[in-house]
Amino acid sequence: MQNEKATLVNDSIMCQWTQSGLLEFSHRMIFQPMTFALFGEIDPHSLETDFRLFDDKIHYFGAILPTWMYSWFFTKALTARTRLNSAWLAKLHPSQESELSHARTVLIQDNYNWLSGQDHGALQTTLLWGALGNTIPTVFWCLFHILQNAEALEVIKQEIDEHLPFSSLDNDKADSVIEEWTVEKLNSCVYLESAINETLRFAASTFLTRKCRQETQILLQDGRILNVKPNETVAYFAPITHLDADLFPDPNKFVFDRFVNKNADNIAGFLPFGSGKSICPGRFFAKNDIKICFAMLLRRYMEFKFIDTEITTAQKRGRVGFGVAPPSLDVKIMYRYKM
Ligand code: HEM
């Protein structure tokens, strides 16, 4: 009897619509699992408030203002950053840390004269921000576009059902056979992959910078030659090519299947993860994480609706140039668990 009552209470909670911001929702989907996957058994909640404070002002830190300006005008974000930098040093190798995080720490420990303790902490904070500060807004923009596109939603739901086994991830019965969501199976979701690439085409507003070590000539598309001297910095702004109509027809339209069956790594002018030696090492992890997040949401758990009938939002202006910019205003949604 008690069990029945508990089930009824649970069912009614599951049926209730809950209101949230879509960016806040994306943050809650990604923050904890990604932090855990990268850094292992740390308490992600202890970092969360400081991450939010630092993330909100990251563009001012990227601007490299005079030091006194940070202490005067950005005290909270500066304190949050200092706390984050110190947090990593308390436990250098948490259990279940990722190979990436482990290898970075080992390299720094082996070469202890390279960096001070604080700088080592700062490097881990950069990794935390680079991973979450880009992935969370990508999930936001992807949901923002897909949830408003009935055709895309249907096609993506169908391929998720076709390629990803039902028994996975949420099945905690010890005796049941769990068919995993392998990378190969995730890669079979070509429409979802395409929608993520299309989201990045729109939203990745990265400035890639390279410092020149020797006199170099760069041949521009229009035939001009750019002479770059040693120590000069060259910057490439991704939206210039991402929104070029010659490369991507109808560039201001979100076309969810634009990248279907194309190898995004080889598309001229498409560089959401940078290029060359310092290309983002987390790109596969980020994409797989987003795919898993989408698959779980669409298949098993959620129904969504937007609260405002006219939804418009732009990228937060100060953040343009720093990876994937979050929206200037969060978008209100309602969601509930599927029955
Ligand atoms: C959608 C999510 C992401 C985007 C759009 C993104 C984008 C970028 C870009 C544009 C760069 C600079 C590349 C260059 O200079 O050529 C970069 C570097 C980097 N990213 Fe990501 N990233 C994402 C997620 C991640 C994740 C999840 C991780 C960690 C697992 C990560 C770790 C790094 C690191 C360590 C670098 C520095 C690489 C180096 O300097 O050698 N990123 N990322």
CA 102 / ligand 1 centre spacing (Å): 17
Beta bridge partners of 225: 219
Contacts of 171 (CB under 8 A, 6+ apart): 178
Please tell me the predicted confidence (pLDDT) of residue 299. 80
Question: Does residue 281 have its Cβ closer than 6 Å to ligand 1?
Answer: yes
Question: Does residue 292 have its Cβ closer than 6 Å to ligand 1?
Answer: no
**pLDDT < 70: residue spans in the chain:** 1-14, 167-178, 301, 339
Q: Residue whose CA is closest, atom 31 of ligand 1?
A: 282
- Burial group, residue 141, by CB count within 10 angstroms (0-12, 13-18, 19+): buried
Please tell me the predicted confidence (pLDDT) of residue 168. 47
d(CA 98, CA 36): 9
Question: Does residue 272 have its Cβ closer than 6 Å to ligand 1?
Answer: yes
Probe target for ligand 1 pocket from 123, 233, 280, with the most ligand atoms within 8 Å of CB: 280
Domains contained in the chain, CATH given:
17-337 (1.10.630.10)
Q: From the alpha carbon of 289, which atom of ligand 1 is closest?
A: 27
Q: Look at residues 256, 136, 154, 156 and name the one whose alpha carbon lies nearest to residue 202.
A: 256
CA 145 / ligand 1 centre spacing (Å): 23
Question: Does residue 127 have its Cβ closer than 6 Å to ligand 1?
Answer: yes
Residue 335, CB-side half-sphere exposure with 13 Å CA sphere: 18
Q: Is 15 labeled as ligand-binding?
A: no
Contacts of 212 (CB under 8 A, 6+ apart): 228, 229, 230, 231, 232, 233, 234
d(CA 66, CA 324): 25
Please tell me the predicted confidence (pLDDT) of residue 282. 94
Please tell me the predicted confidence (pLDDT) of residue 189. 96
Please tell me the predicted confidence (pLDDT) of residue 14. 64
Question: Does residue 196 have its Cβ closer than 6 Å to ligand 1?
Answer: no
Please tell me the predicted confidence (pLDDT) of residue 220. 86
Phi, psi of 211 (to 5 degrees): -90, 130
Please tell me the predicted confidence (pLDDT) of residue 99. 93
